[in-house]
Amino acid sequence: MKGRKLMVVAFLAFMTNGSSLLGIGQGSAGSLARSIECNHNIAHNIQTATALRLLAGNPPAKPKAAFFGPFQVDCSALQMCSVLA
């Protein structure tokens, strides 16, 4: 890298890590990523706790209709009983 490309890379490196190099660690890229990750984890844990609180003490709901399976055919409705028998 020579000249202009080196200056662009150096400028971008200074912009992302310059605040930590100057002693202002709260503005560095690493701390920003950590705070985003922390906020995401807090939001996820709140959603999980809310979902578990709603489920506590409630039995699972039973299906309202009976499930016969995907392969059961009423041949009288199709008028094909002789073919399927």
Tell me the CA end-to-end span of the chain in Å, nearest whole number. 79
CA dist., res. 35 & res. 63, Å (int)? 43
3-state SS, residue 11: helix
- CA 64/CA 43 separation, integer angstroms: 34
43 pLDDT above the threshold of 90? yes
| Per-residue pLDDT at 46 exceeds 70 | yes
What percent of the chain clears pLDDT 70, i.e. is strictly above it? 55
pLDDT at site 32: 72
Q: Does pLDDT of 47 surpass 90?
A: yes
Whether residue 69 is predicted with pLDDT greater than 90 in this model: the reply is no
The CA distance from 35 to 72, in Å, is 55
Nearest to 30 by CA among 38, 45, 42: 38
Q: What is the pTM of this model?
A: 0.39
Better pLDDT: 46 or 35 = 46
